[in-house]
Amino acid sequence: MQINWFTVIAQIINFLILVWLMKKYLYKPILQAIDEREKKIAAELADAKSKVAEAKSEQDEFQKKNDAFDQHKKKMMDGLAADAEKERQKLLDAAKNEAATVKHKLEEAAKELQESLNEKLVQKTQEEVLSITKKALSELASTNLEEQTVHVFIRNIKAISAKDKKQFTDAFHAGSALSIKSAFDLPEKQQKNIKTAIAEVLGLGIKYAFETDPKMISGIELVTKGYKLSWSFAAYISSLEKSMASSAKEPLEAVKK
C-alpha cells in the first residue's frame, strides 16, 4: 500500500490547527471559566466562613447580653425581695407599735376609769360612814360632831411637838398667810377657840382665812407655806379605803387581760 504523504501531512497540519483552535477558542475559555468558577466558589466559601464567624460572634455577644440580663434580672429580683421584706417588717413593726399604743391607751383608760370609780366609791363610803358616825355620836354624846371635831383639832394644836412647833413658826414667819379649811362652816365661837390655840404657839396679831371644803369629810386643816396640820374622819377609815382599793384592782386586771 502506497502512503500519500501529502495527505498525511495535510491531516497532521489540520489536526494541529484543530488543536490550536480548540485550545484558543474552546479549552482556554473553559479553563478560564473553571478558574473563575473556582475563585467564585472560594470567595463564596470565604464569605460564608466570614458570615459564620460573624454569626458566631453575634451569638456569643447575644449570649453575653443574655447572661448579663439574667444576672441583672436576678439582682433586681433579689433587691425587690429584700425591699419587700423590709417593707413587710416595717409594716409589721408599725402594726406592733400601734397595737402596743392602743393597748397602753386602753389600759390607761381602764385605769383612769377604775380610779374614778374607786374615788367615787371611796368618797361615797366615807360619806356613808360619816353619816352613820354622826348619828351614833349625836345619840351618844351631848355635843354634836362638828364641835367634837373642833375640840380634837384644838387639842392636836396644843399637843404638837417641839420640832413641829419650830417648823410651824418658821413657815409662818416666812410671810405666808394662815389658812384654815373645814368641811363645815365654823361658828364664831369655834373660830375664836381655834385662834386662841394658835396664838399660844405663834402669838397674837395673826390674820386668819377660814374656808369651807365639804370634800374633806368632816375635818379641819391648817395650812401655811411649808407646814400643814389637819384632822378628819378620813384618817380613821383609811384602812377601809385601802381594802376597797385592793379589791378594786381585780376588775382592772381583768380589763388589762
pLDDT band, very low/low/confident/very high, at 175 (cuts 50, 70, 90): low
Q: Higher pLDDT residue, 51 or 22?
A: 51
What is residue 234's predicted lDDT score, i.e. its pLDDT?
60
- pLDDT tens for 111-144 read 887 777 777 776 777 667 666 665 654 444 445 6
Spatial CB neighbours of 206, under 8 Å, sequence gap ≥ 6:
172, 178, 195, 198, 199
Task: Record the pTM.
Answer: 0.38
What is residue 243's predicted lDDT score, i.e. its pLDDT?
61
pLDDT of residue 87 exceeding 50: yes
Q: Higher pLDDT residue, 121 or 83?
A: 83
Q: Higher pLDDT residue, 65 or 117?
A: 65
What is residue 255's predicted lDDT score, i.e. its pLDDT?
45
Question: Rounded to whole angstroms, how far apart are CA atoms 68 and 64?
Answer: 6
Q: Which residues of 159-191 are buried (b: 16+ CB within 10 A; e: fewer)?
A: eeeeeeeeebeebbeeeeebebbbbbebeeebb
Cα angle 100-102-105, degrees, rounded to a multiple of 5: 110
Q: Higher pLDDT residue, 67 or 139?
A: 67
Question: Rounded to whole angstroms, how far apart are CA atoms 137 and 139?
Answer: 5
pLDDT of residue 153 exceeding 60: yes
Q: Which fold has domain 144-235?
A: Dihydrodipicolinate Reductase; domain 2 (3.30.360)
Question: Rounded to whole angstroms, how far apart are CA atoms 195 and 189?
Answer: 10
pLDDT band, very low/low/confident/very high, at 229 (cuts 50, 70, 90): confident
Q: Which amino acid is at 216?
A: M
pLDDT band, very low/low/confident/very high, at 1 (cuts 50, 70, 90): low
Q: What average pLDDT does range 236-255 have in this prediction? A: 56
Question: Rounded to whole angstroms, how far apart are CA atoms 181 and 140?
Answer: 27
What is residue 17's predicted lDDT score, i.e. its pLDDT?
84
| CA atoms lying within 13 Å on the CB side of residue 181 | 15
What is residue 251's predicted lDDT score, i.e. its pLDDT?
52
pLDDT band, very low/low/confident/very high, at 178 (cuts 50, 70, 90): confident
Q: Do 212 and 181 form a contact (C-beta atoms < 8 A)?
A: yes
Which position has the grid cell 377601809?
240
pLDDT of residue 49 exceeding 80: yes
Q: Higher pLDDT residue, 126 or 98?
A: 98
Q: What is the dihedral of CA 237, 241, 242, 245, to 10 degrees?
A: 170
pLDDT of residue 205 exceeding 60: yes
Provide the mean pLDDT of the chain. 76
Q: Do 149 and 219 form a contact (C-beta atoms < 8 A)?
A: yes
Q: What average pLDDT does range 230-235 have in this prediction? A: 64
CA separation (Å) from 87 to 84, 95, 99? 5, 12, 18
Asked which of 37-41, 44-48, 75-79, 157-161 is least confident by mean pLDDT, the reply is: 157-161
Q: Across the chain, which distance is largest between two alpha carbons, in Å?
A: 201
Which position has the grid cell 371644803?
213
What is residue 111's predicted lDDT score, i.e. its pLDDT?
82
pLDDT band, very low/low/confident/very high, at 108 (cuts 50, 70, 90): confident
* DSSP code, position 159: T
